[in-house]
Amino acid sequence: MKYRTTRARTSLRLPPRGALASKQARKGEERRGRRCGNSNQLCERREPARDSKKGGKRAGLAAPIQPMRKPPSVSRSCDAACAPPPSLPPPNKEAERGQRREACASASRDCSASVSLLRSPPPGSLAPVARMAPASAASFAQPLLLLLALGSSAWVGASWKEARKPNVVLILTDDQDTYLGGMTPLKKTNALIAEMGITFSNAYVPSALCCPSRASILTGKYPHNHHVVNNTLEGNCSSKSWQKIQEPYTFPAILKSVCGYQTFFAGKYLNEYGAEDAGGIGHVPPGWSFWYALEKNSKYYNYTLSVNGKARKHGENYSVDYLTDVLANVSLDFLEYKSNFEPFFMMIATPAPHSPWVAAPQYMKSFTNVSAPRNSNFNIHGKDKHWLIRQAKTPMTNSSIQFLDDAFRKRWQTLLSVDDLVEKLVKRLEFHGELNNTYIFYTSDNGFHTGQFSLPIDKRQLYEFDIKVPLLVRGPGVKANQTNKMLVANIDLGPTILDIAGYDLNKTQMDGMSLLPLLRGDSNVTWRSDVLVEYQGEGHNSTDPTCPALGPGVTHCFPDCVCEDAYNNTYACVRTLSASWDLQYCEFDDREVFVEVYNLTADPHQITNIAKTIDQEILEKMNYRLMMLQSCTGATCRTPGVFDLGYKFNPHLMFSNHGIQMRRLFTRSL
């Protein structure tokens, strides 16, 4: 059956399916390209894929992934046990068919284990995509031959899927808030994921910026443990250090090398991915069977993709280049060509609703009467906040307000294409019978603000509008139409997905917690009451020539010299949510000793800083808790919070990661 796709067309070229020993597979290989010498490797050849229209062509990927070979001993034993007779047995030969079924099942188990070991290099030595297939040709062959021997494709397919691990899809948007109604445009997404599953109403990011937050998703760690502190190479964003120390141990790397998952990535990875100083787009991180990543930051047109390490440039023709639609199409292609005998993980990272806010043509006139919300912290002065917030001009000029209203509308317009992507993906999963065995996660890397405390547009700040994100989940065992108020963070995504795959989380050093008990509705769950939020400001210790009055170090400035960041906009916060407290405590690392504290029960928009009026004992406890969380790793990040019954202050746990110099500093401060 052929499928009608969206306007932007692209095709994902996957390894040949079927046994290399079978006549059908050999013919398939001849169609795709001739063999290279006597090897088992297909010569590189570009093959146009089928289009939804008769006679149409779609651009194929330039470099097919090379299949791995099994050793002769493994291959011979598998093929001999599972090879079908010259013709399928007549229906009345039940005894012969039963013997063959038993022999094939046994051989398939043994061979699958052997192939799994062959495809799983040790941690830290995972081969890039171009050198390792998502599954060897032989691993495709065994299930196919087993199917032929049994003579019933429907029975085999159903039983195989029932026994297979769940699939996982993670959809990650860019700069999508929940505080300002960022989920409102996504009618289909709300119907297909939120209403069919669970909405986490208190989901936070450990850093309100793209690269640190995405690194936390991949590693399951706080920024002080993965060391990605901002969006620059100097801040460890996709740097060589990140590639060497963190990438081999991300949760996709574990899924692929240990858990036997096919893994697929499409979209924005990290902001500095593709930088020439860090390997360029030829670098494919370990853990990905299929890699379709955007070079650098979000764009909608005129961008370059790394297709399994090979550059592919796109222009500005909507029908073939609009990035959100390109990601949708290549994702649907993956679902068509993937192996049906292994679970899969997909991560689809859209550019929307990040700037430059270019909507698809059919959506450019949407939301014409919508403007940014005028809530109680809109266009007011942050008089009791850190100096960077205080420098904003209040009230904002009419031109600034018009600009942010326009940005707000365009952000929503770009999300309509994401809504289409979600609908197509869910329908395709349902068509293939995969939906009931697939968890779908929908979230964002950070929030956003439009005029709060007179800051025009950006993220980075410590307030709810920047650190709170949507998190929707549907999947096996998840009841429909639920809302969960537990305090969760994106460092929980990695542990959750590994838990779904059956991996022992005690083998990781992840700081997050598995959400799986919450997804299943377990009643006896001991959960956290606080999370850490930390950020290291960008900028250099020099004066911006266009805004000299602001002094050195400011960056991301608007024409009227309202700046969104500075090198000393460096802070750490404890966000607490317990039965009795809804509190945020923050300290700035600056020459100006500054603390911000908010009681969100009484002040949900964080207008009044109560640092000078709150009980001194609470301040001291929060200060201790913050220091401990800033030095935590793994299980120590999940200890009881200040307002939990089991809380106790242990100074020996503080600064355990920061060496003797920090411990001496702490001792002197006591």
Residues marked as catalytic: 210
**Nearest in space to 465 (alpha carbons), one of 488, 448, 485:** 448
Contact (Cβ atoms closer than 8 angstroms) between residue 79 and residue 141: yes
- Helices (DSSP H) in 164-288: which residue ranges? 187-189, 210-219, 223-226, 240-245, 251-257
Q: 142 forms bridges with which residues in the sheet?
A: none
Please choose, from the candidates 543, 656, 539, 658, the residue with its C-alpha nearest in 3D space to the C-alpha of residue 590: 539
Cα separations (Å) of 575 from 175, 530, 642? 20, 5, 11
C-alpha pair distances (Å), 283 with each of 64, 129, 196, 274: 16, 10, 38, 7
321-343: buried (b, 16+ CB within 10 Å) or exposed (e) per residue?
bbbbbbbbbbbbbbbebbbbbbb
Instruction: Count other Cβ atoms within 10 Å, centred on residue 315.
Output: 9
| CB-based burial label for 60 (10 Å; 0-12, 13-18, 19+) | middle
Strands 563-566 and 554-557: antiparallel
Query: Rounded to the nearest 10 degrees, how much is the dihedral formed by the CA atoms of 114, 116, 117, 120?
Result: 160
User: Which DSSP state fits 95?
Assistant: H
Give the number of other Cβ atoms within 10 Å of residue 180's Cβ: 20
Q: Which amino acid is at 131?
A: R
CA distance 80 to 29: 22
Q: Torsion angle of alpha carbons 230, 231, 232, 236, nearest 10°?
A: 60
